[in-house]
Amino acid sequence: KPELSVDINLKALVVASYKFIARIGKHKGGKGGVIVNIASTAGIVSG
């Protein structure tokens, strides 16, 4: 089901980003940084 796939993939991205922020954030003694999320449409394009 496409909705389930999007839900799982989107939640994974959000959860991973928040966990990464918590780990590298200056408020936790980290150096700070930037998170760059990259996606591809290759998985949904046929041909």
Q: In terms of pLDDT, which residue wins out, 15 or 31?
A: 15
pLDDT tens-digit map of 17-29? 898 888 888 877 7
Taking CA 10 as the corner, what is the angle to CA 7 and CA 12, rounded to the nearest 5 degrees? Answer: 105
pLDDT tens-digit map of 3-19? 888 788 888 889 998 98
Q: Taking the CA atoms of the chain, what radius of gyration do you get in angstroms?
A: 15
Contact 24, 31 (CB under 8 A): yes
Residues 6+ apart with CB under 8 A from 7: none
What is the per-residue pLDDT for 28?
A: 73
What is the per-residue pLDDT for 45?
A: 67
> Is the pTM above the cut of 0.85?
no
Residues 6+ apart with CB under 8 A from 22: 28
Q: In terms of pLDDT, which residue wins out, 46 or 42?
A: 42
Calculate the CA 20 to chain-centre distance: 9
